[in-house]
Amino acid sequence: MNRTTITIGAAVALAIGAAILSLSRGESEAAAAAAQPMVRIAVLEIDPAQLDAYKTILAEQQEASVRLEPGVLMLHSVAIADSPTSIRLLEVYASRSAYEAHLRSPHFIKYKTSTEKMVKSLELVETTPILLCAKSRGQAGGPVTCM
């Protein structure tokens, strides 16, 4: 073997090694992104004539989701103070796959089909979480958990 052959071989080996490291890093970054909490804000406008029925169905779905689904970390719903038919939901899932599992859950499917004609508009706002903190026992206090 001459020196040119060795240099080309070394260059090829370095290129292959760099490609393998790049793929590994990409897979690691994808795995880290999949493990990150997914936070979304839902902006809804509800038919005023059906607001009470909507809130009842929403409350049932929220409670079941948090109680039954390990990947549903929290669901909060609020109405805008001077516009009670303007509903905002803060949804926090352990990961994108937890969110996708939530969409397939029986209680979520029941919610979607039951409220389909009640919801006048829906916008889903993707977010990037900065810091999510909560007291472990709500107003009763307890340790604070941040993620």
Q: Which range has the worst mean pLDDT, 25-29, 42-46, 58-62, 96-100?
A: 25-29
Question: Which DSSP helix (H) or strand (E) runs through 53?
Answer: helix 51-68
More confident residue, 71 or 12: 71
Q: What is the crossing angle of helices 51-68 and 106-115, to 10°?
A: 170
Cα–Cα distances in angstroms (integers) from residue 120 to residues 38, 41, 81, 83, 140, in the given order? 25, 17, 19, 14, 37
Q: What average pLDDT does range 42-61 have in this prediction?
A: 98
Q: Report percent pLDDT > 70 for the chain.
A: 76
pLDDT band at 18; cut points 50, 70, 90? very low
Computed from CA positions of residues 95, 100, 102, 103, in that sequence, does the dihedral angle turn out positive or negative? positive
Q: How confident is the model at residue 59 (pLDDT cuts 50, 70, 90)?
A: very high
Average per-residue pLDDT in the chain?
85
